[in-house]
Amino acid sequence: MHRRCLAPGSRSANNFAGAGVKDYNPELDGMTGAFIETGGRVWDPWGMSNWVPVDYAREAELANGRSAMLATVGWVWPKWFGVFPGFTDVTTTDPVDAALQADTQWWAQFIILCGVIEANKYWAAQKGQSYMGGVNDTPFYDPFGIYPKTEEGRAKMAERELKNARLAMIGIASFVAGHFIPGSVPCLPPGF
| Ligand-binding site membership of 136 (annotated) | no
- Does the annotation flag 3 for ligand binding? no
Residue 42 contacts by C-beta under 8 Å, 6 or more apart in sequence?
18, 28, 29, 31, 33, 34, 49
Helix/strand/coil for 139: strand
Judge whether 43 is annotated as a binding position. Answer: yes
49 is in an annotated binding site: yes
Q: Cα torsion for 121, 123, 124, 130, to the nearest 10°?
A: 50
Q: Is 25 a known ligand-binding residue?
A: no
**Sign of the alpha-carbon dihedral angle for 29, 31, 37, 43:** negative
Task: Please tell me the distance from the alpha carbon of residue 16 to that of residue 102, in angstroms, as a whole number.
Answer: 41
Name the nearest CA neighbour of 25 among 63, 66, 55. Answer: 55
Binding site annotation covers 164?
yes
CA-to-CA distance for 14 and 77, rounded, in angstroms?
38
From CA 10, how far away is CA 4, in angstroms rounded?
Answer: 10
Spatial distance between the Cα atoms of 82 and 163, rounded to a whole number of angstroms: 28
- 160 annotated to bind ligand: no
Which residues fall in the annotated binding site for chlorophyll a? 43, 49, 161, 164, 166
Query: Binding site, residues?
Result: 43, 49, 61, 66, 161, 164, 166
Which segments are annotated as binding site for chlorophyll b?
61, 66
